[in-house]
Amino acid sequence: MHCTACAKPLPEPVGTKCPFCAEPIHDDDIAEAIRSELETDRTFLRIATPMDRSGWAIAAGYAALFCLIILPGPLALALGLVALWDLKRRPHKIGRGRAWFGIIAGGLATAVLLLIAVASTWR
């Protein structure tokens, strides 16, 4: 927590005055600082963990990563499409970016897989 007047970090426990600038510290300032720290923690958790994400979108993202070895491309494409459908039904969930990543990467990998299949039949 930082002083609202001088912006220096306050030692724990917080007293009634800032030890650096002697400005009074109000309970509202402490509550706001705690809310701000909690919001920062929640933002990090939201990025680092699959909180409120569609399970289908997570599966599409991982399948898209694995489709770099070509074979799971159709799976990533299918999971991405199912994820978009799931996200449309449940608008409170997030994961649209992962779903689109699954569709795009899966579509490209599927196209490469089809080209390999066609090229191998011409030999």
Average pLDDT, rounded, for the chain: 77
Average pLDDT, integer, range 102-118: 89
In the DSSP assignment, the letter for residue 67 is G
Question: Are the C-beta atoms of residues 57 and 98 closer than 8 Å to each other?
Answer: yes
Instruction: Check residues 15 and 81 and name the one with the higher pLDDT.
Output: 81
Give the pLDDT of residue 46. Answer: 62
Q: How far apart are CA 119 and CA 29, in angstroms?
A: 69
Report yes or no on whether pTM surpasses 0.75: no
Quick one: pLDDT at residue 21?
75
**The pLDDT of residue 16:** 67
* pLDDT tens by residue, 16-51: 677 777 776 665 555 566 566 656 656 666 666 666
pLDDT at 116 over 90: no
% residues pLDDT > 70 (the chain): 59
Task: Give the start-to-end residue ranges of the domains of the chain.
Answer: 1-49, 55-121
Beta bridge partners of residue 53, listed in sequence order: 94
E strand or H helix at 38 = helix 27-48
pLDDT band, very low/low/confident/very high, at 82 (cuts 50, 70, 90): very high
For residues 7 and 15, is the Cβ–Cβ distance under 8 A? no
